[in-house]
């Protein structure tokens, strides 16, 4: 055996270099992984909320028709049901528009809450949620961001609707503080209701089913309440349903705050509605959302 032969158990210089390089790369990867930390929950919520807001306000046509829809609805209901203004329980409001406008605020909140579920279901079907599942993101942040972005959109719709009602329909709120409190309460109720519709979106699998279930939930609650006529003027069985309908208390509280009338316990009932629906819907949505789709 020649003395110039390479020792056994050792590779050539090039092989040793490759092995050392592989070890160095692996060590570098471990170092990067050890030094990396995921973003905070607040950062995740902020980024996802900003993305949803950017998507909602980037299309001017969507913004225009979204703001026009509650105004058209308010105009139609104020004219079609104007005769209700002569009923004994409505004359004290000095015009049917003053009775109707606070209820329309809650109606706008319910419609926006329903769109929260539709928007989440759209993101599921377009694959955006699937991409988020592959990232180190808390899934709860996705749901919270959706409700916050829609709450901001709700604020814009409510303010525009109130201004339009004041300018064009002679709506006369009781004062700036009162109408501001009514708007804040409406946003809280809408935020709570959005969790119910998000829970519906995480429970079923088709957009058509989502819309059908949402309308079944929304319309009985809205029309079986004190939104369009006083409870005393309703038939007996509808009166019973309106009395136990939680939306009735939200509307009564909003109506009293916006017109500067005594609120009684309606505000606390409305806040209880917001907290209760948020807790129930959040629990159901979180449980359903963890399932792989």
Q: What is the mean pLDDT of the chain?
A: 83
Is the pLDDT assigned to residue 15 strictly greater than 50?
A: no
Report pTM: 0.82
pLDDT of residue 238: 85
What are 173-205's pLDDT values in tens digits?
988 999 999 999 999 999 999 999 999 988 876
CB atoms within 10 A of CB 89: 14
What are 110-130's pLDDT values in tens digits?
999 998 988 898 888 888 888
In a domain, 23, yes or no: no
Confidence of residue 71 (pLDDT cuts 50, 70, 90): confident
Which residues form the domain of 79? 39-289
- Of the listed ranges 4-8, 40-44, 212-216, the least confidently predicted one is 4-8
Dist CA 199 CA 214 (whole Å): 11
pLDDT of residue 37: 65
In a domain, 12, yes or no: no
In a domain, 16, yes or no: no
Give me the long-range contacts of 270-273 (CB less than 8 A, separation at least 24): 270/185, 270/188, 270/189, 271/185, 271/188, 273/189, 273/192, 273/246, 273/247, 273/249
In a domain, 30, yes or no: no
Confidence of residue 101 (pLDDT cuts 50, 70, 90): very high
The full 3-state SS of 50-64, as one line of letters, equals HHHHHHHHCCHHHHH
pLDDT of residue 36: 57
- The contacts of residue 197 (CB under 8 Å, 6+ apart) are 113, 114, 116, 117, 118, 214, 217, 281
pLDDT of residue 28: 44
pLDDT of residue 192: 95
Q: What number is the average pLDDT over the span 29-51?
A: 73
pLDDT of residue 31: 44
Identity of the highest mean pLDDT range in 16-30, 148-162, 216-230 = 148-162
Total domain count for the chain? Answer: 1
Q: What number is the average pLDDT over the span 3-14?
A: 46
In a domain, 1, yes or no: no
In a domain, 219, yes or no: yes
In a domain, 239, yes or no: yes
In a domain, 227, yes or no: yes
Cβ 139 vs Cβ 290: under 8 Å: yes
């Amino acid at each position: 055996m020649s003395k110039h032969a390479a020792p056994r158990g050792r590779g050539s210089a090039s092989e040793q270099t490759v092995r050392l390089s592989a070890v160095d790369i692996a060590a570098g990867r471990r170092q990067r992984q050890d030094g990396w930390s995921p973003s905070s929950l607040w950062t995740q919520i902020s980024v996802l909320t900003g993305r949803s807001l950017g998507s909602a306000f980037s299309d001017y046509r969507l913004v225009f028709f979204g703001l026009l829809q509650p105004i058209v609805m308010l105009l139609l209901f104020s004219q079609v049901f104007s005769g209700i203004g002569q009923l004994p329980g409505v004359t004290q409001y000095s015009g049917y528009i003053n009775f109707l406008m606070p209820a329309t605020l809650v109606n706008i909140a319910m419609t926006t809450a329903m769109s929260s579920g539709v928007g989440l279901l759209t993101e599921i079907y377009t694959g955006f949620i699937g991409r988020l599942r592959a990232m180190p993101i808390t899934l709860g942040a996705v749901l919270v961001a959706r409700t916050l972005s829609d709450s901001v959109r709700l604020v814009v719709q409510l303010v525009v609707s109130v201004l339009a009602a004041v300018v064009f329909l002679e709506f006369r709120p009781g004062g700036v503080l009162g109408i501001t409190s009514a708007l804040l309460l409406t946003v809280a109720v809408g935020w709570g209701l959005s969790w119910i519709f998000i829970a519906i979106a995480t429970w079923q699998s088709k957009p058509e089913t989502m819309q059908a279930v949402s309308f079944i939930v929304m319309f009985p609650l809205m029309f079986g309440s004190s939104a369009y006529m006083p409870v005393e003027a309703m038939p007996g069985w509808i009166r019973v349903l309106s009395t136990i309908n939680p939306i009735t208390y939200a509307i009564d509280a909003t109506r009293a705050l916006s017109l500067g009338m005594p609120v009684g316990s309606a505000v606390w009932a409305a806040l209880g509605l917001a907290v209760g629906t948020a807790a129930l819907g959040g629990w159901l949505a979180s449980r359903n959302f963890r399932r792989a789709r």
